[in-house]
């Protein structure tokens, strides 16, 4: 089992994406630019096409990842709203509708005991996601975040 999660170690890297796929797609763009510069005007249309497709490839993979992150954030929002309904007093539950998605995502790490107080603080002080995470004393881990 991984080390207990906290504010300092909760960021998760996806090694294939962060350390191979994204860097290789960027290197491909760089190679395309170098090829255009070295071989222009010979076969310029092919090298320019290579550059365009390299950019399209990076954008397509980036958008696919962004779409999965949005879906994940929506699931977190739903989970936390169900948790709010179970743990927050009625007046605070009504006020919790004003929380932003980023604030809700930060609150997912708060223990059940800390949640009502942090929701109130987040609303009263307009805390950012980072400020909410820093204010958590009893961290509730989320090992499944992409």
Name the residue with tokens 């009625």: 90
- Rounded Cα gap, residues 129 and 145, in angstroms: 15
Instruction: Give the list of residues 6+ apart from residue 141 with CB closer than 8 angstroms, or none.
Output: 4, 5, 10, 109
The pLDDT assigned to 1 comes to 57
By CB atoms closer than 10 A (0-12, 13-18, 19+), residue 119 is: buried
Tell me: the pLDDT tens digits for 53-103? Answer: 999 999 999 999 999 999 999 999 999 999 999 999 999 999 999 999 999
The pLDDT assigned to 94 comes to 97
Do 32 and 54 contact (CB within 8 A), yes or no? Answer: yes
- Rounded Cα gap, residues 90 and 50, in angstroms: 58
Residue 16, pLDDT above cutoff 60: yes
**Global pTM value:** 0.78
The pLDDT assigned to 138 comes to 92
How is residue 71 written in tokens?
A: 């879906």
The pLDDT assigned to 59 comes to 96
């Amino acid at each position: 089992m991984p080390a207990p999660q906290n504010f300092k170690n909760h960021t998760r890297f996806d090694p294939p994406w962060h350390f191979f796929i994204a860097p290789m797609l960027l290197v491909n763009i760089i190679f395309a630019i170098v090829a255009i510069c070295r071989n222009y005007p010979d076969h310029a249309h092919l090298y320019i096409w290579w550059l365009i497709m390299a950019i399209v490839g990076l954008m397509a993979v980036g958008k696919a990842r962004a779409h999965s992150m949005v879906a994940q954030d929506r699931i977190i929002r739903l989970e936390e709203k169900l948790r709010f309904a179970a743990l927050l007093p009625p007046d605070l539950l009504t006020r919790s509708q004003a929380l932003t998605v980023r604030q809700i995502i930060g609150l997912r790490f708060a223990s059940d005991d800390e949640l009502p107080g942090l929701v109130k603080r987040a609303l009263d002080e307009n805390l950012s996601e980072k400020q909410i995470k820093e204010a958590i004393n009893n961290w509730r881990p989320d090992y499944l975040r992409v």
